[in-house]
Amino acid sequence: MTHNLVIQSLAPLSDAHHKPLLALSRGTRIVQTDDHALRIDNANPAQRLDIDAYCGTHALDFAFVEAGLTLGDFGLAVMDMDSTLITIECIDEIADFCGLKTQVAEITEASMRGEIRDFNESLTRRVALLAGLDAHALERVYEERLQLSPGAEKMLAGVKAAGMKTLLVSGGFTFFTERLKARLGLDYAHANTLEIVDGKLTGKVLGEIVNAEVKARLLRETCASLGLEPSRAIAMGDGSNDLKMMAEAGLSVAFHAKPVVRDAATVAFDHVGLDGLLRLF
């Protein structure tokens, strides 16, 4: 199988990278695809460690991509929400409204790094701290703090133009996923439901918790409903709760991710936005 190496940068790519990258990758030629990306044909994936070291030094992102593969070969784009499609962790920002952001964020970070193995326990502990908070805080987080990640809208436009369906699957909350689904024209969205009684959070989640296993199952089920093999899905995420979902997909993207996720993914974007996906093909 022949591979090409795609190099991307937030800043315009200097020609000075051409010669060392061509040598390191053992490729046959360089094609500058735009000011921020280039492709090296017939690159050797066995050179990954050397390429990783070079790109890490120069703030570049890289990906070995099967030659001839196109975005149209895939049928479903699956995205995590918090710190992937959007820039924040919603639960941490909700906690800020009751003065508990530090405590909740510490649990969030440990869970994302994979240090708390049981996501259900992690989420239950964090949500319990929110008991008694006015539900209006959710609206304030959405209106005042939630921002899309760089390149999100461009990426979504590109995958839709390629005929792909879109699935937002989150260990966060339906309050946010449903609004994003409507705003961005996504096809499917799944997340956890916060219990609200008399306008206040009870500190409980209703129904099945969307953990790593559920995310992977939702990817498989959505593919099946579309008549697709999971190998025709692209999955994007940043934390350990995304690993099983990403393992199901034909292409996985670690987006500004924790090391455990970066190491497991097909592609890692440490610098560029989500629209970097479109430059891979």
Among residues 34, 50, 80, 134, which one is catalytic? 80
C-alpha 257/C-alpha 240 separation (Å) is 9
The total number of residues written for the chain in this structure = 281
Tokens of 228: 């697709």
152-161 and 174-184 helices cross at what angle (nearest 10)?
Answer: 60
CB 177 within 8 A of CB 146: no
CA distance readout (Å), 161 to 28, 154, 185, 189: 31, 11, 13, 19
- 238 in catalytic set: no
CA distance 21 to 85: 30
Residue closest to 195 by CA, chosen among 209, 183, 214:
209
Distances (CA, A) of 216 to 70, 113, 190, 222, 254: 24, 18, 12, 10, 15
**Residue of 61, 82, 238, 242 with catalytic role:** 82
Active site residue 61: no
- Distances from the Cα of 217 to the Cα of 59, 101, 213, 240, angstroms: 35, 31, 6, 16
Catalytic positions = 80, 82
